[in-house]
Amino acid sequence: MKRIGVFTSGGDSPGMNACIRAVVRAAVYHGIEVYGIHRGYKGMVKGEIYKMDSHSVSNIIQKGGTILRSARSREFMTPEGRKLAYEQLQEHGIEGLIAIGGDGTFTGANIFFEEYGIPTVGAPGTIDNDLYGTDYTIGYDTAVNTALDAIDKIRDTADSHDRVFFIEVMGRDSGYIAIPCAIGGGAEIVMIPETETSIDYVVDTLRTGWNRSKTSFIVIVAEGDDAGNATEVAAKVQQELPHMDARVTILGHVQRGGSPTAADRMLASQMGVACVEGLLQGRKCEMAGIINKELVYTPFIDTITKDKLINPQYVRLVDILSV
């Protein structure tokens, strides 16, 4: 393999730049050419493909976002779009790809390989940490610390005003962000998609705390919780407890930005090198990851179809620690 392409796709995450840097530097180290594909599959279809070298990735390891930009492409989901993408890769002589993203990104790469035989190795890039095949994803540690910083600040004002705050964190399908935010932020309740939390339970817990003279509360709600998002949960609870002064804070995309933590820079750097070396070893349709401190490669099909379950004991921990 003489020439590869690298791209970021789906929701950006802090550490993607550190991973791009590692891919480019590892390619240079191994004597292969590397091209950056801008805006993920969208840019691949359109031919937004540019040569990179060691200098193209100087001074980016500490930066949030992705210098390659990111997108979610509808066109690549169609056979016509993938044909155009293949033609662009052919035109640029690209023989293998490195995809930094989540399960949507790897689903696309799998189909692309079946249709056109272009091998892709993936790096787990998402703040959600819900990818099977790695203990941690690039950006997760930073996102949790960003959210925690905000929660600490909200705790100050919640305490001052005797209020209950419903704080929504990201995680459409997973409580990976919510759990450390709740435990680390000293929350009274955590609501995550993986476990059912009834509104009655939330009301009872707040009422019991109130009757014990507790006057401020933090409830962490993962955006995809089955009881609703933070706004919906707060409205339902407020109906039952009208004497409580409730507020809602949606942390939203602030969790996706910012300078990556040391842990994310380390992981991203390891993953970038592992992707290049994986491609050179002849791997295809596999994601690099770290499990129990060891580098592993997991077939895309497993990362896409298997669930990385969160330990339900963590919810119990929040209960115990908030008595």
Instruction: Write the binding mask 153 to 192 for ligand F6P: x where contact by CB under 6 A, - elsewhere.
Output: -----------------xxx--------------------
Q: Does 74 bind ligand F6P (CB under 6 A)?
A: no
CA atoms within 13 A on the CB side of 233: 34
Annotated binding residue 173: no
Min dist CB 244 to ligand F6P, Å, is 28
Annotated binding residue 31: no
Is residue 66 within 8 Å of residue 35, measured between CB atoms? no
Q: Which is nearer to ligand F6P, 250 or 266 (CB)?
A: 250
**What CA–CA distances, in Å, run from 54 to 10, 13, 39?**
25, 22, 20
Separation of alpha carbons 104 and 73, rounded Å: 10
| Residue among 12, 128, 225, 264 flagged as catalytic | 128
Min dist CB 69 to ligand F6P, Å, is 13
Separation of alpha carbons 137 and 168, rounded Å: 21
Laid out side by side, the sheet with 286-291 consists of 49-52, 33-37, 3-8, 96-101, 120-124, 286-291, 294-299
Min dist CB 77 to ligand F6P, Å, is 15
Q: Which is nearer to ligand F6P, 88 or 249 (CB)?
A: 249
Min dist CB 104 to ligand F6P, Å, is 8
128 exposure class (CB count in 10 Å sphere: 0-12, 13-18, 19+): buried
Q: Would you call 128 a catalytic residue per the annotation?
A: yes
Name residue, tokens 């031919």: 47
| Residues that are catalytic | 128
List, as residue ranges, the binding site for ADP: 21-25, 155, 186-188, 212, 214-216
By CB under 6 A, name the binding residues for ligand F6P: 11, 102, 126-128, 170-172, 223, 256
